[in-house]
Amino acid sequence: MALDITFPDGNVKQFPDGTTVKAITEGISNSLAKKAVAGKLDGDLIAYDEPIAHSGQLQIMTKDDAEGLTVLRQTAAFVLAAALKDLYPDIHFGQGQATEDGFYYDTDRADGQVSVDDLPAVQKKMEAIIKENAALEPVVLSRAEAFQAFKNDPFKKQLVEAAGDPIKGYKLGDFVDFEEKVLLPSLKDLKHLKLLSVAGAYWQGKSSNPMLQRIYGTAYWSEKGLEDDAKRRQEAAEHDHRVIGRDLDLFFVDPKVGAGLPYWMPNGATIRRVIERYIIDKEIADGYEHVYTPVLANLDLYKTSGHWDHYREDMFPPMDMGDGEMLELRPMNCPSHIQIYNHHIRSYRELPLRIAELGMMHRYEKSGALSGLQRVREMTLNDGHTFVALDQVQEEFKKILRLIMDVYEDFNITDYSFRLSYRDPKNTEKYFDDDEMWTRSQSMLKGAMDDLKLDYYEAEGEAAFYGPKLDIQTKTALGNDETMSTIQLDFMLPERFNLTYVGKDGEEHRPVMIHRGIVGTMERFIAYLTEIYKGAFPTWLAPTQAVLIPVNNDLHLDYVNRIKKQMLAAGLRVKVDDRNEKMGYKIREAQTKKIPYTVVVGDKELNDAAVSVRRYGDEHTEEEAGNMFIDALVAEVKNYSRDGKTKPGEATKVLGD
């Protein structure tokens, strides 16, 4: 029976049954065959030298494609397992797979876990296996054969139980692994790899399951790829907010309390408090009314909102209060703000009605997904909801966007892009199934962006379950995209909660609800800022803005304390270092703590009513009159992070020159 293969250019060719991707590739060109490593049939990766199963659309995957790199790394994970089995015959395996920047395999040993000190020996064994270049043979096992093959491996047996029949795998010498993924046709191209680290990981990501040892590595097609990766990892370590947070004593997570539940130390709490006060003042000045609402609510509230149907996997289990009442930790604030709106009869004169809150929320995050402040289980969202009449939507949208751009300017956030996030119309489980609502709201959102002449791109399947949104994607310190701010149009929740206002005609009308977040959660925003600034926060955000150091406590401490009093009265955050330590040590420590200003006072400064000032990162000091230094510092703080540079073009369109 012939195979009808459709190529990316639309051409259709027939091939005999049993044809492989390799045969097709070699028939196209030798140069393509040298780079090809796999195929993609109707969107699914298929092996390079196995028979193509059926007719369909075929793409040739090469070393230049992201999928080609995935195949390389899946092969590296397989070879890692083979090496571990050879070195530690008693080892048990979980799952191994390729990741965005490498690969891993989960393992377990009763006789002591594989440690980071063992990695050089494991890598050496991998290199020996690769050098032998033994054939990677695909195997097909019946369920009974698979149970026999993995009878001594409890985790693989669970995977066999969940898999279909027959079960695919690969064989390398005597080693057999249950492997549904596509591997390289041979090991000759697996030349550039590096084992990196080990870490704990719960089996299948569930904290109720055993903790396994996850071994991480990476692989590339060239040595340069490995070298560039090492540089990126070094840079990532220097920017890592978890490392900086520990070094600057900003926050910590206590395993006795639980993962994803950060404690804010005084330094971190100061940064957070400054940002929260700034945001609240900014929103109040823009017409928002700030509220407080409970973190617990009756489960029925989230059934009405649709969260229980569409968001349940991200919610903690309800708490049964024993009298039929079921309470739920809130996953989002919008139903709470709807209750604020519904508490009174509303008139068209009140619209737009703007409600904001620094609202604490809880999300059921698996332990494997948690990371410092970026992914947590308890978070505080800079949340706001505006209730508007239909003819007010576009102007309110622009007003919110102006507020976001103004905040970005204060934080000197300049690298961002706009994404219009739409629903996937085929996914009726994730999104409310109302074509008319989606068409109308997506059209209004697009119209507002077009009216502002803003550049944007569109992404299907990224909307909230209740409506489309504008996502503002910022670049992290390592150049990755991260959603910072959102504006979402919602026709659905006003309908479900029967929200109304009395119009000019005396009749009831349905408002439109606009959800918006300016800087997202405090946790994620501070993680972002920490990494962008590498812990050297601008003066207005720094936990300690200046440290005062007397050269001699007996002679200069009184003067230093007078300066401190003046600075505190001016609203500045200042400390005095009067410890019995050498001057050089104190100055170096202030630089290590990334305090913006180190101020030294000796005889000359005392006589001149001056101070010697050293800015963080500078090698030299400058003498200034004490009062002039304080005035300059106050002015710098009031200027936020604005550096006088030209705004990004998109911000100019929204804010003006």
Summarize the confidence of residues 121-139 as an average pLDDT. Answer: 91
Please indicate, yes or no, whether residues 282 and 365 belong to a single structural domain of this protein. yes
Are the CB atoms for 445 and 489 separated by under 8 Å?
Answer: yes
Beta bridge partners of 47: 38
| CATH number of the CATH domain containing 127 | 3.30.980.10
**pLDDT band of 561, cuts 50, 70, 90:** very high
Which of 507, 533, 559 terminates a domain? The answer is: 533
Domain co-membership, 57 together with 72:
no
The CATH number covering residue 522 comes to 3.30.930.10
Percent of the residues in the chain that have a pLDDT greater than 70, as a whole number: 95
CA distance 529 to 241: 9
Both 73 and 40 in one domain: the answer is no
Q: Is residue 255 part of a domain?
A: no
- Taking only the tens place, the pLDDT of each residue in 133-153 is 888 888 888 888 888 888 888
Q: Identify whether residues 372 and 435 lie together within a single domain.
A: yes
Assess whether 328 and 444 both reside in one domain.
yes
- Strands 137-141 and 167-172, bridge-based pairing: antiparallel
- 55 and 75, same domain (yes or no): no
Task: Say how far apart CA 567 and CA 421 lie, in whole Å.
Answer: 47
Q: How far is CA 180 from the centre of its chain?
A: 28
Q: Containing domain of residue 555, as a range?
A: 546-638
Could you count the other beta carbons within 10 Å of the beta carbon of residue 206?
11
Q: How far apart are CA 496 and CA 493, in angstroms?
A: 5
Average pLDDT, the chain: 90
Question: Which residues are annotated as part of the binding site?
Answer: 334, 385, 515
Q: Which tops the pLDDT comparison, 190 or 201?
A: 190
CA 123 to chain centroid, in Å, comes to: 31
Q: What's the average model confidence in pLDDT over 76-80?
A: 95
Q: How confident is the model at residue 580 (pLDDT cuts 50, 70, 90)?
A: very high
Looking at the fold, whether 382 and 295 belong to one and the same domain comes out as: yes
Is residue 656 in some structural domain? no
- Output the domain CATH number for residue 52: 3.10.20.30
- How confident is residue 111, by pLDDT bands cut at 50, 70 and 90? confident
Is 272 within a domain? Answer: yes
Residue 33 lies in a domain: yes
Q: Are 182 and 75 in contact (CB under 8 A)?
A: no
Q: What is the pLDDT, as a whole number, of residue 564?
A: 96
Span 180-189, mean pLDDT?
88
Give yes or no for a contact between 522 and 614, defined as CB atoms under 8 angstroms apart.
no
Q: How far is CA 531 from CA 451, 480, 507, in A?
A: 35, 12, 52
Q: Please name the helix (run of DSSP H) or strand (run of DSSP E) that holds residue 278, with its range, or none.
A: helix 266-285
CA distance 477 to 239: 7
- The reply to whether 307 and 393 lie within a common domain is yes
* Angle of CA points 208, 214, 215, to nearest 5°: 175
Higher pLDDT residue, 507 or 465? Answer: 507
Are 476 and 456 in the same domain? yes
What is the C-alpha to C-alpha distance for residues 365 and 261, in angstroms, rounded to an integer? 11
- Say if residue 519 is in the same domain as residue 566: no
Residue 393 lies in a domain: yes
SS3 197: strand
pLDDT in tens, 326-366: 999 999 999 999 999 999 999 999 999 999 999 999 999 87
Backbone angles phi, psi at 293, to 5 degrees: -135, 155
Q: In the structure encoding, which two tokens stand for residue 348, read together?
A: 């068209």
Domain boundary among 185, 213, 230: 230
More confident residue, 370 or 229: 229
Domain presence at residue 411? yes
Place of tokens 């009067």: 578
The count of structural domains within the chain is 4
Question: What integer pLDDT is reported at residue 428 of this predicted model?
Answer: 60
In a domain, residue 243? The reply is no
Question: Which secondary structure element, helix H or strand E, spans residue 470, and what is its range?
Answer: strand 469-475
CATH number of the domain enclosing 601: 3.40.50.800
pLDDT tens per residue, range 402-460: 999 999 999 999 899 999 888 776 666 665 666 777 778 788 888 888 888 888 888 87
Instruction: Summarize pLDDT for 608-653 with one digit per residue, the tens.
Output: 999 999 999 888 889 999 999 999 999 999 988 776 555 566 666 6
* Total H helices, total E strands in the chain: 21, 32
Binding site for Zn(2+): what residues are annotated?
334, 385, 515
Distance of alpha carbon 176 from alpha carbon 82, whole angstroms:
8
Domain boundary among 62, 86, 105: 62
Per the domain annotation, does 644 fall within a domain? no
Residue showing tokens 């944007």: 456
Q: What is the mean pLDDT of residues 304-315?
A: 87
Q: Are residues 57 and 77 in the same domain?
A: no
Same domain (yes/no): 414, 279: yes
Element (H, E) at 266: helix 266-285
Q: What backbone phi and psi angles, to 5 degrees, belong to 240?
A: -60, 115
Check if the beta carbon of residue 500 is closer than 8 Å to that of residue 530: no
